[in-house]
A = this chain, B = another copy of it.
Amino acid sequence: MASFGKFIKAQREKKGWSQTEFGALIKCNTPLVSRIENDKKPITFNKCKLLSELFELDYEMIKDLYFADKFAKDAFQYKCSENVFSVAEAQTKYFKEINTTQGKLKF
């Protein structure tokens, strides 16, 4: 996958919608749709559920794509090293662990 913006654009075109038509469906005006597709602005996370319905795709998959894109943009922008994501993976496991052994985590 290229980026979340490109993904949205591809799916929208697959459905044959213009940015304006699609914008009406997700309650964004046309310029915002453009910016989202060109990765100038992120789409609001809350809209991922709606996207999965409109595109008829698995929500979990879209959610992962959304966050992968977000993480990647940060990592790129701040020039993180190659292994930042494996550290992140280890850390996630750690959080899951405490969450089950100890009380529920809340950041």
A residues apposed to B, CB below 8 Å: 1-3, 39-40, 45, 60, 63-65, 67-78, 80-81, 83-92, 94-96, 99, 105, 107
What distance in Å separates the Cβ of A85 from its nearest Cβ neighbour in chain B?
4
Contacting A80 at CB < 8 Å: which of B1, B63, B87?
B63
A-B contacts, 26 listed (Cβ < 8 Å):
A1-B90, A1-B94, A2-B91, A3-B95, A60-B81, A63-B78, A64-B83, A67-B74, A67-B84, A69-B88, A69-B91, A70-B74, A71-B71, A71-B84, A72-B88, A72-B89, A72-B91, A72-B92, A72-B94, A72-B95, A75-B88, A76-B92, A76-B99, A85-B86, A85-B88, A85-B92
A1-B85 Cα distance, complex, nearest whole Å: 13
A28-B38 Cα distance, complex, nearest whole Å: 38
Main secondary structure of the interface of A (DSSP, over half): helix
Closest 6 CB pairs of A and B: A72-B91, A68-B87, A71-B88, A85-B85, A68-B88, A76-B95
